[in-house]
Amino acid sequence: MADRDVTTTGAGEQPAPVDRHSQAAEEPDGGAATARRDVIPGIPLPRRAKHRDPDRAGSTWAWLFLLPALILLGAMVVYPIGYTVWRSFYNAAGSAFVGLENYGDLFTDTATFTALKNNAIWVAVAPAVVTAFGLIFAVLTERIRWSSAFKLLIFMPMAISFLAAGVIFRTVYDQDPNRGVLNAAIVSVHDTFIESGEYQGIRPRDTDQLTARGGGFVTADPVPASEPVQIGFVALPPDRVPSDAVQAVPPPDGPGLRGVIWLDFARGGGGKPNQIDPNEVGLPDMSVQAVQDGRTVDSAKTGPDGTFAFPELTSGNYTIRLPSSNFGAAFNGVTWLGPTLVTPAIIGSYVWIWAGFAMVLIGAGLAAIPRDALEAARVDGATEWQVFRRVTMPLLAPVLAVVLVTLVINVLKIFDLVYIIAPGSTQPNANVLALQMYLASFGGGNNQGLGSAIAVALFLLVVPAMLFNIRRFRQEKR
C-alpha cells in the first residue's frame, strides 16, 4: 500500500503521463491517503534537491523503500547464514547438539584438512600469478598496435563458463597424447630429440638369461664363444613386427661367437617358450655388442632371420649386450592430473580464464595514470624500467590491490574447476573447501553438520578480504 501511495504521488505531481491504474487505486482509500498526506510533503521528490531536509519522516520513507530489499536480503542471505551457523553445531542427522565438534573435524578429518591445505595453496599462488600475468599483458598491450585484438583474445576465456572451461582443460591435460594436447606437444618434442628404438617396450622371455641395464639388456652370465646363443623376446605388438622379418632359425655353424635373437611368440598361439617354433620370426636390425672385461670388443647387427655372428671372436667368454638404442624409452608424457600435479594443473586453467579479467582492470588503471608524471620521469633521465618500477607501479598499486583481493575472494570459493577437471582417483588430492563442503553435505557424506562448519569457516576466511575491499571503496568515495 505504502509503495503505491508513493508512486501515485510522484506520478501525480510530475508532468509525466499519468498512469490510469494508479489513479484508480488512489480513489478508494481517499480518507486514509489524506490522513497520510501530512507526511508526504516531507518526501524529497525526484529532481528536487536531495538531503535538504533529512527529517525523521524522510528516514521512515527511506526505510519503507528499503523494506523489500531488506526482506529479500534477510530471507536469502541473513537467514541462511544464521541457519548454517546453527546447523554447524549439530550432528550429521541434525538431531543432537555437538558443540564445536564439527569445527574440530575440520582439522582432524583428513579430507577436509587436505582441502584446507589446498585452499591455502590456491590463495597463495593463483591471485598472484593471475595479477602478474594481467600486469604483463596490460603493460605490453598498451604499446602494441593490435592491442584490441590481443586484448580480446586474452579476455575471451572470461566468456566461457567455468564448466565448459573445466571440460576443455580436462581434455587438455589428458594423459593419452592422442587426446591431451599438452602431452601431445611434450611427447612430440621429446621424440624429436630422443628417438625411440624400433623394439621399444619389448621384454626378454627369460629374465634369468638377460637382465635389464641402462635401457638395454645384457646377458646375466658371459657366454663362451664356442656356444651359440639364443635370445627370445616377447611383447612386440603385431603391427610393429618389421616387415622384413622372416622365420627365425638356429644360428648356422661357423667360426666365432654366434646367436639368434627372435620373437619367442607364435601368432595365434601354440609356441613353446625358449624354443624356436614355426611362425616365430627373427628380430632384424638389432645391434648386438660383445663385451669383454667391460670393453666392447665387437659389434654386429642381426639379419632378417634374427641371426648374428662375430667371426673374429673364436675363443674366450663374452657378455652379450643389446644397447638401449634398440629399445628406446617409452615416453607417455606427464601425468598432469596425477596426485602431485593436479592442483597446479587446475590453477593453470584458472589463470587461463582470469588473466584477461586482471588485464582489463589493470589496463584501465594504466590508462588513468597521468602521462605527465611518466614524461617528467623520462625527462629526468629515468630508464623505462625505472619509470615502470618507480612511477607506474606505485600509481598502479591501488588497482593491483583491488584485483588481488577480488581474486582472493574468488579463489577461496573455487569449486567448479576442481570438481570437473580432477578425475575421481585424484579428486581427494585436489580437494578444496568449497568442494569438500558440497561433498560432505550432499555428495555421499550426507553430514550437513560438517558441511555447515566448512561453510562457516569459508565465510570467515572470505570476510577479511571483503572488509578490505569495502574499506577501499569507502576511501575512494571520500
Contacting positions for other proteins (CB under 8 A)? 111, 174-176, 178, 202-203, 205, 234-238, 240, 264-270, 332, 335, 337-338, 423-428, 431, 439, 443-446
Cell readout for 456 is 562457516
Q: Would you say 275 or 425 has its CB closer to other proteins?
A: 425
Q: Is there a contact between 5 and 23 (Cβ–Cβ < 8 Å)?
A: no
Q: Would you say 188 or 425 has its CB closer to other proteins?
A: 425
Closest approach, Cβ 101 to other proteins, in A, equals 15
Q: Would you say 130 or 433 has its CB closer to other proteins?
A: 433
Q: Would you say 392 or 447 has its CB closer to other proteins?
A: 447
Closest approach, Cβ 172 to other proteins, in A, equals 14
- Kindly provide the b/e burial profile for residues 58-87, where b requires at least 16 CB atoms within 10 angstroms of the residue's own CB: beebeeeeeeeeeeeeeeeeeeeeeebeeb
List own/partner pairs for 115-118 with CB under 8 A and 24 or more apart.
115/431, 115/432, 115/433, 115/435, 115/436, 115/454, 116/433, 116/457, 118/343, 118/430, 118/431, 118/432
Bridge partners for 296 per DSSP: 291
Closest approach, Cβ 102 to other proteins, in A, equals 15
Closest approach, Cβ 459 to other proteins, in A, equals 24
Which whole-number Å values give the CA distances from 361 to 71, 284, 465, in the listed order?
34, 64, 18
- Can you tell me the distance from the alpha carbon of 247 to that of 277, in angstroms, rounded to the nearest whole number? 9
Q: Would you say 226 or 332 has its CB closer to other proteins?
A: 332
Q: At what angle do helices 342-368 and 393-412 cross, to 10 degrees?
A: 140
Closest approach, Cβ 264 to other proteins, in A, equals 8
Q: Is there a contact between 420 and 334 (Cβ–Cβ < 8 Å)?
A: no
Q: Would you say 271 or 323 has its CB closer to other proteins?
A: 271
Closest approach, Cβ 129 to other proteins, in A, equals 25
Q: Would you say 406 or 426 has its CB closer to other proteins?
A: 426
Closest approach, Cβ 237 to other proteins, in A, equals 4
Q: Would you say 440 or 458 has its CB closer to other proteins?
A: 440
Closest approach, Cβ 165 to other proteins, in A, equals 19
Q: Would you say 267 or 471 has its CB closer to other proteins?
A: 267
Closest approach, Cβ 371 to other proteins, in A, equals 53
The radius of gyration of the chain's CA atoms, rounded to the nearest angstrom, is 38
